[in-house]
Structure 1
Protein backbone atom coordinates (compact mmCIF):
# COMPACT_ATOMS: atom_id res chain seq x y z
CA UNK A 1 0.00 0.00 0.00
CA UNK A 2 2.82 2.45 0.78
CA UNK A 3 3.93 2.52 -2.85
CA UNK A 4 0.55 3.80 -4.03
CA UNK A 5 -0.50 5.92 -1.02
CA UNK A 6 -1.02 9.52 -2.13
CA UNK A 7 -0.66 10.83 1.42
CA UNK A 8 2.71 9.13 1.89
CA UNK A 9 3.88 10.36 -1.51
CA UNK A 10 2.87 13.91 -0.59
CA UNK A 11 4.73 13.75 2.73
CA UNK A 12 7.87 12.48 1.03
CA UNK A 13 7.70 15.23 -1.59
CA UNK A 14 7.31 17.86 1.13
CA UNK A 15 10.04 16.23 3.21
CA UNK A 16 8.00 16.15 6.43
CA UNK A 17 8.22 13.57 9.21
CA UNK A 18 4.45 13.10 9.02
CA UNK A 19 1.37 15.13 8.12
CA UNK A 20 1.28 16.88 11.50
CA UNK A 21 4.44 18.75 10.48
CA UNK A 22 3.02 19.95 7.16
CA UNK A 23 2.11 23.60 6.61
CA UNK A 24 -1.01 22.45 4.73
CA UNK A 25 -2.34 20.27 7.56
CA UNK A 26 -5.22 19.14 7.28
CA UNK A 27 -5.54 19.10 3.51
CA UNK A 28 -8.34 17.59 1.46
CA UNK A 29 -6.50 14.26 1.02
CA UNK A 30 -5.98 13.98 4.75
CA UNK A 31 -9.54 14.94 5.64
CA UNK A 32 -10.86 12.18 3.39
CA UNK A 33 -8.52 9.72 5.13
CA UNK A 34 -9.70 10.86 8.57
CA UNK A 35 -13.20 9.69 7.64
CA UNK A 36 -11.81 6.16 7.46
CA UNK A 37 -9.25 6.47 10.26
CA UNK A 38 -10.40 8.79 13.06
CA UNK A 39 -7.68 7.44 15.37
CA UNK A 40 -5.08 8.77 12.95
CA UNK A 41 -6.60 12.23 13.25
CA UNK A 42 -6.39 12.10 17.04
CA UNK A 43 -2.75 11.04 16.87
CA UNK A 44 -1.80 13.79 14.43
CA UNK A 45 -3.70 16.40 16.47
CA UNK A 46 -1.69 15.42 19.56
CA UNK A 47 1.55 15.79 17.63
CA UNK A 48 0.49 19.24 16.37
CA UNK A 49 -0.23 20.39 19.91
CA UNK A 50 3.34 19.57 20.87
CA UNK A 51 4.92 21.54 18.02
Structure 2
Protein backbone atom coordinates (compact mmCIF):
# COMPACT_ATOMS: atom_id res chain seq x y z
CA UNK A 1 0.00 0.00 0.00
CA UNK A 2 2.91 2.31 0.66
CA UNK A 3 4.00 1.61 -2.91
CA UNK A 4 0.71 2.94 -4.27
CA UNK A 5 0.93 6.03 -2.05
CA UNK A 6 4.37 6.77 -3.46
CA UNK A 7 3.17 6.16 -7.04
CA UNK A 8 0.30 8.62 -6.56
CA UNK A 9 2.69 11.11 -5.00
CA UNK A 10 5.03 10.89 -7.99
CA UNK A 11 2.09 11.29 -10.39
CA UNK A 12 0.98 14.34 -8.42
CA UNK A 13 4.45 15.91 -8.56
CA UNK A 14 4.83 15.27 -12.30
CA UNK A 15 1.32 16.56 -13.03
CA UNK A 16 1.97 19.63 -10.90
CA UNK A 17 5.20 20.41 -12.74
CA UNK A 18 3.47 20.02 -16.10
CA UNK A 19 0.58 22.24 -15.01
CA UNK A 20 -2.27 19.75 -14.76
CA UNK A 21 -3.82 21.15 -11.57
CA UNK A 22 -6.84 18.87 -11.32
CA UNK A 23 -4.88 15.69 -11.87
CA UNK A 24 -2.19 16.79 -9.43
CA UNK A 25 -4.74 17.56 -6.74
CA UNK A 26 -6.55 14.26 -7.19
CA UNK A 27 -3.34 12.22 -7.15
CA UNK A 28 -2.06 14.09 -4.11
CA UNK A 29 -5.33 13.43 -2.29
CA UNK A 30 -5.17 9.72 -3.08
CA UNK A 31 -1.54 9.59 -1.96
CA UNK A 32 -2.45 11.26 1.35
CA UNK A 33 -5.28 8.85 2.05
CA UNK A 34 -3.18 5.79 1.20
CA UNK A 35 -0.30 7.08 3.32
CA UNK A 36 -2.50 7.56 6.39
CA UNK A 37 -4.12 4.15 5.90
CA UNK A 38 -0.62 2.65 5.76
CA UNK A 39 0.34 4.45 8.99
CA UNK A 40 -2.80 3.13 10.72
CA UNK A 41 -2.02 -0.42 9.59
CA UNK A 42 1.56 -0.01 10.84
CA UNK A 43 0.38 1.12 14.28
CA UNK A 44 -2.16 -1.71 14.51
CA UNK A 45 0.52 -4.21 13.48
CA UNK A 46 2.96 -2.92 16.09
CA UNK A 47 0.34 -3.07 18.85
CA UNK A 48 -0.74 -6.59 17.88
CA UNK A 49 2.88 -7.74 17.77
CA UNK A 50 3.55 -6.25 21.21
CA UNK A 51 0.47 -7.95 22.66
CA UNK A 52 1.34 -11.30 21.08
CA UNK A 53 4.74 -11.36 22.78
CA UNK A 54 3.23 -11.30 26.28
CA UNK A 55 2.20 -14.45 28.06
CA UNK A 56 -1.05 -14.94 30.05
Name the TM-score, length of structure 2 as normaliser. 0.34
The higher-RCO structure (CA 8 Å, 6+ apart) is 2
- Rg larger for: 2
Please identify which structure carries the higher helix content: 2
